[in-house]
A and B are shown apart, each in its own frame.
Chain A
């Protein structure tokens, strides 16, 4: 049964997206669409015909599948609600991040495939953000891995029950910034815009429509929930080693809290100008570096 945990992320990730949107709407004083709206969006996209650029090559056709499958393979590597039962050990946290990077690699390529300036712009910016985010995320994970004595997520989450050392606080702060950047949210990217000056993710997928777009959007939701899950596995693992009912409740509460935090950040900040991003992300990089050094020096 524990090997089927990935189904939770596969099936419920659109719901999480709906919840974040709803919370954001509340925070901004709107009613907003229902929490099930992302499912309806996906279903609608799956039913539509597609328009594809004549310039595009087979890479453009392959990308939605590769992005979706890499996100799916990555979900196989996380303990979602329980770390007790033996989880199908096909990868540790590093394998997970690089599997996600495979999807990103192809998404960035697809942005260049249609030969438009929008796609190129989105790709160029995505690659830049990835360069700033990935090392910082990796460093934050190093801290957790060194503390937990393994790079396996299930071992890390079982080994830590409390969130009590300065190194962890710093690492989580860095990881949270990475989370904002990697899920394409304000202040790094704006998920709701189609304005060429601001878009990153939307720029890359601009040429996509119909089923391909549905696969890409679904993969994006999955990646978001996956990263949330990693965050709670690494930094707030309490409850994950308990009984099934307890684990489910804890997991749901933790997801809601993170979703609320995202909605709050998105509603209370303005999007940063692209070239101001290095100061935000670079700052977070320093935090993660400090967390690692603090850990080595203090030993906890």
Chain B
């Protein structure tokens, strides 16, 4: 409640503060609110086990007996609330520096606060009505934030695509809610869950599919992802961080809420194919998302595509959990669900870090294009260090947090081999193969991003003159980087909170990782000890330093030019570019990318004296060209046909209304 007050104050002050130069300090109010909220959510989750624990928030406004607007804290709600408030805390601290030089318009500050509030409202909604209101608010506010940064046509188009797609998604969600309401007569999620318990499988499957499509749209699953790499990069970086880090988790939250809570009431049965659908979509999203991320040379678009990949990984875990639940293997389902939730939290941390980092880079270089960067590590040492930590985390390399959740996901997918039928065995194991491929591809994508932007020689004047970002910005990056390391070394911290949730099988995940000891899963099927891996590396380093001190003599280090085969004229143009780095992959995966190349040579005197060569190379956006273009063309064609119905004459319209009425009456009777 106090944190709510902070947000409202923040928004109001943004509206009334007279001096524009002071506006950026107001973000600190948001930060304070988010920080307080984070504490209360963490406390609530921590206390869940103990009796008499009060919910974080309980509020209901009854409009009529059947209709109420209610907001309630609960285990799943608090977990996502925690995810939101930690990310919002970092982003708000960052904004107080980021917005200083960015001549931020007043309304951006107000909408920023409203955006965070509306996401909180989505997570805490207790019934379908308040959920939809908050969901719409979140979508609309984020739409305005997407188009707020520039007036470029690209940003406007991105906003339009986003608004269209998100409303199609909302339509599916409304459909799912209406079906559930028709069957149970309740809009309250708890009431729906109770009412659906004994209903037919066909109805439940319909609700599941509608909600999966609707929420999947927001989460950015393939093939519904096309708005994501357009909209996220168009927004200012502090907002991109929240959109990628948190808002797509609202989609994940929706899928989990519907499948585990609303459809998963007491004694619920799951159809195995639900899990298989989620798992297969997750596998496709993770592999395709990262394959497209690899080809991007726009830093923020690369990060956006990588969000598609990470949502895919979360859905791999969620899908595996649903498969296990359908066979009644609750312990394994708990493992898979814990993996998905852990990855959701991790992704909020490292994607927030990387998007905020890209904001600092743009702040320094004034470009999003990787090919104009280079050598930034020497000019922006802190941003570079933290961006590197984020990259290592997102590539799931120990001892950082990404590895813990991917390891858990791997375990749950391998354990898919103990499900009874052969097809679910094969699908889960293939999901594991997709995850392995994703890991290797992500490593290449982020080596490219970090290596081309931060290492080597500056590729242009902008990169040469880059400056380090201010204190609040680097500090918030440092905070998120530290979170990545802590969650990677001590998984017990988060698994304890996750295990407090009342979903079957999760409880045992708490004992899977007691503090400062190995993480063991599935009754000793496997285990690893993140802290020990970290400690063994530190011990090794210490040993090397001691050995070098005792036995080694000081050697001379000469700093000289890089090896240039003796031509003495190594220029930044000779470095590997982002495009060159991924060339082999464009050749190998050419069926998917369908790369296009265009070389134009202009001559002074044919054929020997060349005056200039232009080289263009890009890839065909498969989904856009072969799925969405025909689809929009089809919709346009149908719309043209339907247009004849609208003649503009009033009597005809009245006639339509009468026909509809008669039709309805006939159906009713």
Measured between beta carbons, the chain A residues less than 8 angstroms from B572 are 115
In the assembled complex, A252 has its CB within 8 A of some CB on chain B: no
Question: Which of A53, A73, A125, A206 meets B533, CB within 8 Å?
Answer: A73
In the assembled complex, A57 has its CB within 8 A of some CB on chain B: yes
Q: How far is the CB of B151 from chain A (nearest CB, A)?
A: 36
In the assembled complex, A233 has its CB within 8 A of some CB on chain B: no
What are 14 A-B interface contacts by the 8 Å CB criterion? A53-B561, A57-B377, A59-B377, A65-B544, A68-B544, A73-B537, A89-B527, A89-B528, A90-B532, A94-B410, A94-B528, A116-B562, A116-B570, A134-B439
Measured between beta carbons, the chain A residues less than 8 angstroms from B13 are none
Q: Do residues A117 and B443 form an inter-chain contact, with CB atoms below 8 A?
A: no
In the assembled complex, B422 has its CB within 8 A of some CB on chain A: yes
Contact with B along A79-120 (1 / 0, CB 8 A): 000000000111110110011011011001100111111111
In the assembled complex, B315 has its CB within 8 A of some CB on chain A: no
In the assembled complex, B397 has its CB within 8 A of some CB on chain A: yes
Measured between beta carbons, the chain A residues less than 8 angstroms from B643 are none
Q: How far is the CB of B512 from chain A (nearest CB, A)?
A: 14
Question: Which of A55, A69, A95 meets B562, CB within 8 Å?
Answer: A55
In the assembled complex, B36 has its CB within 8 A of some CB on chain A: no
In the assembled complex, B576 has its CB within 8 A of some CB on chain A: yes
Q: Do residues B447 and A112 form an inter-chain contact, with CB atoms below 8 A?
A: yes
Among B74-82, B450-458, B463-471, which stretch is in contact with chain A? Answer: B450-458
In the assembled complex, A151 has its CB within 8 A of some CB on chain B: yes
Query: Which size class do A's interface residues fall under?
Result: 35 or more
Question: In the complex, what distance in Å separates the CA atom of A59 from the CA atom of B450?
Answer: 11
Nearest residue (CB) in B for A113 is B455
Measured between beta carbons, the chain B residues less than 8 angstroms from A289 are 433
Question: In the complex, what distance in Å separates the CA atom of A185 from the CA atom of B70?
Answer: 65
Q: Do residues B429 and A296 form an inter-chain contact, with CB atoms below 8 A?
A: yes
Question: Which of B398, B414, B426, B576 meets A95, CB within 8 Å?
Answer: B398
How many inter-chain residue pairs (CB < 8 Å) link A and B? 244
Measured between beta carbons, the chain B residues less than 8 angstroms from A48 are 555
Among A21-29, A33-41, A139-147, which stretch is in contact with chain B? Answer: A139-147
Q: Do residues B451 and A138 form an inter-chain contact, with CB atoms below 8 A?
A: no
Are A95 and B407 CB-contacts (below 8 A) given A55-B375, A124-B576, A125-B584?
A: yes
Q: How far is the CB of B571 from chain A (nearest CB, A)?
A: 9
Q: Do residues B576 and A117 form an inter-chain contact, with CB atoms below 8 A?
A: yes
Identify the 9 closest CB pairs spanning chains A and B, nearest first: A120-B576, A112-B451, A115-B456, A138-B436, A90-B532, A127-B444, A134-B440, A53-B562, A95-B528
Having A68-B540, A123-B451, A128-B444, one finds 11 other A-B pairs with CB under 8 Å, namely: A50-B557, A52-B560, A54-B561, A70-B537, A90-B536, A114-B562, A117-B575, A120-B576, A138-B433, A150-B524, A151-B414
In the assembled complex, A162 has its CB within 8 A of some CB on chain B: no
Nearest residue (CB) in A for B441 is A131
Q: Do residues B443 and A51 form an inter-chain contact, with CB atoms below 8 A?
A: no
Question: Which of A54, A91, A210 meets B529, CB within 8 Å?
Answer: A91
Measured between beta carbons, the chain B residues less than 8 angstroms from A271 are none
Q: How far is the CB of A171 from chain B (nearest CB, A)?
A: 13
Question: In the complex, what distance in Å separates the CA atom of A278 from the CA atom of B562?
Answer: 32
Q: Do residues B541 and A69 form an inter-chain contact, with CB atoms below 8 A?
A: yes
Question: In the complex, what distance in Å separates the CA atom of A289 from the CA atom of B557?
Answer: 49
Question: Which of B450, B529, B574 meets A90, CB within 8 Å?
Answer: B529
Are A207 and B414 CB-contacts (below 8 A) given A57-B455, A69-B540, A152-B526?
A: no
Question: In the complex, what distance in Å separates the CA atom of A201 from the CA atom of B398?
Answer: 23
In the assembled complex, A274 has its CB within 8 A of some CB on chain B: yes
Are A152 and B527 CB-contacts (below 8 A) given A116-B575, A124-B584?
A: yes
Measured between beta carbons, the chain A residues less than 8 angstroms from B537 are 69-70, 72-73
Measured between beta carbons, the chain B residues less than 8 angstroms from A142 are 414, 429, 432-433
Are A92 and B562 CB-contacts (below 8 A) given A65-B541, A130-B440, A131-B440?
A: no
Question: In the complex, what distance in Å separates the CA atom of A226 from the CA atom of B452?
Answer: 31
Q: How far is the CB of B413 from chain A (nearest CB, A)?
A: 9
Among B388-396, B595-603, B615-623, which stretch is in contact with chain A? Answer: B388-396
Q: Do residues A115 and B575 form an inter-chain contact, with CB atoms below 8 A?
A: yes
Measured between beta carbons, the chain B residues less than 8 angstroms from A91 are 528-529, 532-533
Q: How far is the CB of B424 from chain A (nearest CB, A)?
A: 10
In the assembled complex, B582 has its CB within 8 A of some CB on chain A: yes
Are A114 and B456 CB-contacts (below 8 A) given A49-B556, A51-B560, A52-B558?
A: yes
Nearest residue (CB) in B for A124 is B581
Q: How far is the CB of A161 from chain B (nearest CB, A)?
A: 20
Question: In the complex, what distance in Å separates the CA atom of A211 from the CA atom of B398?
Answer: 25
Q: How far is the CB of B396 from chain A (nearest CB, A)?
A: 6
Q: Do residues B560 and A123 form an inter-chain contact, with CB atoms below 8 A?
A: no
Question: Which of A92, A119, A120 meets B526, CB within 8 Å?
Answer: A92
Question: Which of A65, A89, A90, A146 meets B414, CB within 8 Å?
Answer: A146
Q: Do residues A120 and B581 form an inter-chain contact, with CB atoms below 8 A?
A: yes
Are A115 and B560 CB-contacts (below 8 A) given A123-B581, A150-B526?
A: no
Interface residues of A in 195-241 (CB under 8 A from B): 206-207, 210-211
In the assembled complex, B411 has its CB within 8 A of some CB on chain A: yes
Measured between beta carbons, the chain A residues less than 8 angstroms from B397 are 98-99, 101-102, 105
Q: How far is the CB of A75 from chain B (nearest CB, A)?
A: 10
In the assembled complex, B378 has its CB within 8 A of some CB on chain A: yes
Question: In the complex, what distance in Å separates the CA atom of A278 from the CA atom of B590?
Answer: 12
Between B411, B541, B575, B580, the greatest number of chain A beta carbons within 10 A of the residue's beta carbon is seen for B575
Question: In the complex, what distance in Å separates the CA atom of A275 from the CA atom of B586?
Answer: 11
Are A112 and B403 CB-contacts (below 8 A) given A92-B526, A98-B397, A134-B439?
A: no
In the assembled complex, A263 has its CB within 8 A of some CB on chain B: no
Measured between beta carbons, the chain A residues less than 8 angstroms from B384 are 57
Question: Which of A108, A125, A128, A210 meets B555, CB within 8 Å?
Answer: A210
In the assembled complex, A121 has its CB within 8 A of some CB on chain B: yes
Question: In the complex, what distance in Å separates the CA atom of A130 from the CA atom of B585?
Answer: 11
Question: In the complex, what distance in Å separates the CA atom of A142 from the CA atom of B455?
Answer: 36
Question: In the complex, what distance in Å separates the CA atom of A76 from the CA atom of B444?
Answer: 26
Question: In the complex, what distance in Å separates the CA atom of A121 from the CA atom of B574?
Answer: 11
Are A123 and B407 CB-contacts (below 8 A) given A59-B455, A146-B417?
A: no
Q: Do residues A128 and B584 form an inter-chain contact, with CB atoms below 8 A?
A: yes
Measured between beta carbons, the chain B residues less than 8 angstroms from A53 are 559-563
In the assembled complex, B437 has its CB within 8 A of some CB on chain A: yes
Question: Which of B526, B533, B557 meets A49, CB within 8 Å?
Answer: B557
Measured between beta carbons, the chain B residues less than 8 angstroms from A47 are 555
Question: Which of A65, A113, A135, A151 meets B525, CB within 8 Å?
Answer: A151
